Amino acid sequence: MPNPINTYILKLTREIKTAILVLSSILLFIWGYSYIKGKDLFTNYKKLYVEYDNVEGVVKSAAVTLNGLVVGNISNITINQTTGKILVELQVKTDFPISKSSTAAIYEPGFIAGKQIAIYPNYADKTVIADGDVLKGVITAGLTESLKEKLVPLQEKFEKVLLNVDKLLIGVNNVLDEKGQADLKKTLSDLSKTMEEFHKVSQKTNAILDENKGQVKGMVSNFNKVSSDFSKISDSLNKADLGQTVKNLQKTLANVDKIMANLQAGNGTMGKMLNDEALYNNLSKTSKELELLLEDVRLNPTRYVNVSVFGKKNKPYVAPVNDTLDKAKN
């Protein structure tokens, strides 16, 4: 016969096990729900608050970072019914001393990830923030906003280009009326005829070249020979030391310039003869007198030569009435 006490203990043990299982399930459900909501029941968090004018893209459970390290998450987002500002509740767990003058900025870490909040500590402020304090909120332009800012000017330029293209097409349509289309067709037809004529000329040219292959080869050979001769002449000129020849020519020209300068300055005999006007006049006068003297000797030789064969005395010289030399002197 079973013992009633043992039976009661077995029943009590089953009830205790069932109660423990139910409580465990409830606790597990609460912990899981809290974990999904971004709360950890076994961690002591600080609650901080930040006010923003706009929290577009920010959701609950989004990460809160400190210098790139995740230190918490967003636990709640509410709106102030009076001011219309958005109050964001942060759940932060860190041993780092966050100062009261630190800022909490909404930023976008990438195109795929949602927006997060980054805490930028003020290292100069040594006053550590306490649970329930409010941080200053700022909004930094994310990658999407930056891309939008850069794309807006491009979009405006693209719209202007499309507008210009539209105007161009309208202008082309206006130009290409029935008359314009006819003129264009005529132009294309003339161009086609010109290409045909060019093709015929090309064929004739090829035929002429085929008929005169020997002459063409001879011309090419002569040209090659002339090029070779010209190359030899160039080599000879290079070997002739033209540089030294030019230097000698320059030196000679410099000496000529120096001689001409001395002549113009009246240096030396030639310079004095060229620049001394008095000497020129004396020479001119002497030349004239010599000319007159020679003429008088030719016309009147007895004035200068008087020879007596029989020992007669010489007659005194009597100047003629028409003395050419005296006239020249006067």
Start-to-end Cα distance in the chain: 198
Contacts 24+ apart (CB under 8 A), 267-272: none
The answer to whether the CB of 81 falls within 8 A of the CB of 115 is no
- The per-residue pLDDT for 325 is 46
Instruction: Please determine, for residue 272, whether its predicted confidence score (pLDDT) is greater than 80.
Output: no
Contacts 24+ apart (CB under 8 A), 34-43: 36/61, 37/61, 37/75, 38/73, 38/74, 38/75, 38/91, 39/75, 39/91, 40/93, 43/93
For 18-27, write each residue's pLDDT tens digit: 777 778 888 7
Strand, helix or coil at 108? coil
Residue 49 confidence class, pLDDT cut points 50, 70, 90: very high
pTM: 0.38
- The per-residue pLDDT for 163 is 85
Overall average pLDDT of the 123-132 stretch: 88
Instruction: Please determine, for residue 42, whether its predicted confidence score (pLDDT) is greater than 60.
Output: no
* Dist CA 224 CA 294 (whole Å): 74
For 145-197, write each residue's pLDDT tens digit: 666 777 778 888 888 888 888 887 777 676 666 777 777 788 888 888 888 88
Q: Nearest 5°: phi and psi at 78?
A: -130, 165
The structure tokens listed for 312 are 């007669």
- The per-residue pLDDT for 329 is 47
- The per-residue pLDDT for 242 is 64
The structure tokens listed for 298 are 């030719």
Residue 328 confidence class, pLDDT cut points 50, 70, 90: very low
Overall average pLDDT of the 292-318 stretch: 63
